[in-house]
Every structure is written in C-alpha cells, then in structure tokens.
C-alpha cells in the first residue's frame, strides 16, 4: 500500500510536469514591447517552482516508500542536522529566491505600471459597461468631450453620455465598438467604468487591468504585430460577463488612418 502510494505520487508529479516541459499550455505569442519581461519572469518562476514541486513530491514519496511498515527491529532515526539545518536551508534558498524574483519582477511590473506614457502616446478611451466595451478616439481636435452620466442612453447610442449639442470637444469624438490601433505606436488607454467593475484583458498584449467605478485609470502599451486579438472582461460583472468581449485590431498606420476616417464618417 505505502509503496504503491509512493509510486502514485511520483507518477502524478511527472505527469504534472510533462505539459510544462513540452510547452503544451503556454500563453500565446507576445505582441507587446514589455511582454518579454513578464514571460521571462514567468519562465524563471516556473523553473524554480517546478524544481521545488518535483523535489518535495519525490522526497515525500521516497520517505514513504522507505520508512513505512518497517520490521520489528527497525530503529527510529532523526534526519542528520535536525530542524536547524532545514530552517537555515529554507531561509537561504527560499530567501535568495524570493529576493531574486522580487527584485527582477519589479522591472516587468514597472514597465507597465510605474512608468508614465510618453508624450506622443496616442490616447484612446475605453468605457466598460454591462456587457460591452466602447472605445472613444478624440477626433481631429485631440480633446475628449466631457462625460455626462445622466445623458447615457443606449437606445440613442449615446454610450458615453456626450453632450453633442453643447460641447464642442465632444462633436468630433469617434465612438466605436471595436478597438483599432496602429502597430508600433504607444497607446495611452484611459479606462472608465460605466456601472460596475470590469476588466480589460488581452493575453497577447500581456495586459490586464480592472475598471474601477468612480476611479478613472490608465494603461499604456505598444503592440508590435499586426493582427486581430480578443479583448475580454475578467472581472465578474453580471449575467453577461462570459460574453463581454471586443476585438483589438492592430493595423499599419495607413490602414489605421483609413479606418478612423471611415468610423468618423459613421458618427
């Protein structure tokens, strides 16, 4: 029984590690300028956690195999060095690991959150509401019109609550249900929640940020590969949460300019 248990633990540990070693379940290819730092941090953590996982499971299995149901003449023994050696080893090994991951991890985090966007980053506003994203481009004047929550009306497609009759800044704003951005251009995403909490998650961009009602946040990133990607909501927002999504199209600058003109004409 004990030996079978030991073998089971080892088999489970190996089977658990195989998909990781074969990269069966990796995240999709990174299309951002900052994502490689996150991926490197993930790989280093996987290596360290993987070794710890396998070592602990194997040792557990080996000791169960070796020391279960011994004969009547077996003598109790204590591990040489006792607890002191283990405590010192844990402090040294895990402590160094913690420091290394903590320090190197700061850079990956800082690239997304602790550095401001450059002055020429392109502003785009995204509003999240049950259960859709709407994107707003400031138009030729480069200024967003003010928001008036009391004017929000889905039936008239005034998703942002813009005062088109009185606010000149709002008149040229372009509101779309799909997000398009030029490739290799830094985007400054201004995030606004209409009703409850939502989130903005694009796996390929290596970005995830919650929308916080009452608190407008921002995010900046640069996409490096043309293509169509899914934006999904990851913050439980109600019955349609599973279906709250939009598409992000990364285009050449020319295609983006054409797209924006077409969308402006539709407003």
Partner 1 sequence: MHDVAAHAAHHAPPTSFIRKHVFSLDHKVIGKQYYALALVAAVCGMILSWMMRIHLGWTNAAIPGLQWLSSTGAPGGVMTPEYYLQLMTMHGTIMVFFVLTTAPFAAFGNFFLPIQVGAEDMPFPRINMSSFWVTFVAFLVLMSSFFVGDGPTLGGWTQYAPLNAVGSGAGPGQGLGVVLWMTSIALFCVGQLLGSLNFITTTLDLRVKGMSLMRLPLSAWAWFITSCMGLTAFAVLMPACILAILDHVAGTSFFVPSGLVVSDQLVPHSGGSTLLWQHLFWFFGHPEVYIAIVPGIGIVSHILITSMRKPMLSQRVLIYCMGALAVLSYMVYGHHMFVSGMNPFSSLAFSFPTLVITIPATITVLIWVFSLYGSKLRITSASLFALGFVSMFVSGGVSGFFLAQPSIDIMLHATYFVVGHFHMVMGVAAMFGIFAGTYFWFPKMAGRMMDETLGKIHFWLSFAGTYCIFMPFHYLGMVGNVRRYSTFTDDYLQPLIPVHKLITIAALITGAAQLVFVYNLIHSRFWGKPAPDNPWEATSLEWSTASPPPFDNFGGQHPVVYHDPYQYGVQSSVGDYVMQASPEQVKTEHDEK
Find the binder of partner 1 among 14, 47, 98, 146 (CB under 8 A): 98
Q: Does 9 bind partner 1 (CB under 8 A)?
A: yes
- Using CB under 8 A as the criterion, what x/- string covers residues 43-72 for binding partner 1? --xx-xxx-xx--xx-xx--xx--xxxx--
Please tell me whether residue 222 binds partner 1 under the rule CB under 8 A: no
- CB neighbour list of residue 76: distance below 8 Å, 6 or more residues apart: none
The CB-of-257 to partner 1 minimum distance in angstroms stands at 27
Q: Kindly state the number of chain residues that form the binding site for partner 1, as judged by CB under 8 A.
A: 102
Q: Quote the least distance from Cβ 208 to partner 1, whole Å.
A: 5
Q: Is 118 in the site for partner 1 (CB under 8 A)?
A: no
Interface pick for partner 1 out of 120, 150, 165, 254 (rule CB under 8 A): 150
- Contact between 140 and partner 1 by CB under 8 A: the answer reads no
Indicate which single residue of 14, 27, 164, 177 sits in contact with partner 1 (rule: CB under 8 A). Answer: 27
φ and ψ at residue 67, rounded to 5 degrees: -110, 5
For partner 1, the binding residue among 213, 225, 226, 255 (CB under 8 A) is 213
Give, as ranges, the residues between 72 and 91 that touch partner 1 (CB under 8 A).
Answer: 74-79, 82-83, 86-87, 89-91
In angstroms, rounded to a whole number, what is the distance separating the alpha carbons of residues 120 and 189? 13
**Distance from C-alpha of 199 to C-alpha of 231, rounded to nearest angstrom:** 9
Q: Binding of partner 1 at residue 246 (CB under 8 A)? A: no
Q: Specify the residue, 87 or 164, whose C-beta has the smaller distance to partner 1.
A: 87
- Encoded tokens for 93: 């090994």
14 lines the binding site for partner 1 (CB under 8 A): no
Using CB under 8 A as the binding rule, whether residue 18 contacts partner 1 is answered as no
Contact in structure between 34 and 202 (CB atoms under 8 Å): no
- Separation CA 95–CA 87 (nearest Å): 11
| φ, ψ dihedrals at 141, nearest 5° | -75, -10
Contacts of 26 (CB under 8 A, 6+ apart): none
Give the shortest CB-158-to-partner 1 separation in angstroms: 10
Sheet hosting strand 217-222, strand order edge to edge: 174-176, 132-137, 122-129, 186-193, 217-222
Spell out, one character per residue from 162 to 191, where the chain touches partner 1: x when CB under 8 A holds, - when not.
------------------------------
Closest listed residue to residue 247, CA positions, set 227, 220, 223, 224 = 227
Verify binding: residue 10, partner 1, rule CB under 8 A.
Answer: no
> What is the gyration radius of the CA atoms in the chain, in angstroms?
26
């Amino acid at each position: 029984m004990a030996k079978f248990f030991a073998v089971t633990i080892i088999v489970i540990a190996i089977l658990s590690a195989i998909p990781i070693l074969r990269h069966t379940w990796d995240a999709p290819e990174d299309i951002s300028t900052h994502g490689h730092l996150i991926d490197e941090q993930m790989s280093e953590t996987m290596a360290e956690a993987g070794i710890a996982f396998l070592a602990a499971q194997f040792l557990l299995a080996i000791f169960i195999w070796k020391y279960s149901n011994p004969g009547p003449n077996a003598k109790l023994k204590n591990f040489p060095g006792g607890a002191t050696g283990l405590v010192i080893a844990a402090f040294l090994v895990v402590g160094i690991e913690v420091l290394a991951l903590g320090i190197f991890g700061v850079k990956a985090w800082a690239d997304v959150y602790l550095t401001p966007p450059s002055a020429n980053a392109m502003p785009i506003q995204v509003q999240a509401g049950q259960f859709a994203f709407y994107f707003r481009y400031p138009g030729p004047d480069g200024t967003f019109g003010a928001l008036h929550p009391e004017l929000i009306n889905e039936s008239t497609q005034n998703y942002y609550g813009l005062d088109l009759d009185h606010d000149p800044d709002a008149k040229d704003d372009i509101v779309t249900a799909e997000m398009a951005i030029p490739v290799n251009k830094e985007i400054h995403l201004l995030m606004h929640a209409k009703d409850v909490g939502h989130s903005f998650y694009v796996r390929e961009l290596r970005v995830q940020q919650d929308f916080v009602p009452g608190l407008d946040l921002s995010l900046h990133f640069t996409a490096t590969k043309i293509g169509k990607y899914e934006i999904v909501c990851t913050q439980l927002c109600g019955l349609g949460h599973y279906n709250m999504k939009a598409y992000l199209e990364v285009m050449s600058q020319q295609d983006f300019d054409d797209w924006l003109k077409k969308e402006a004409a539709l407003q």
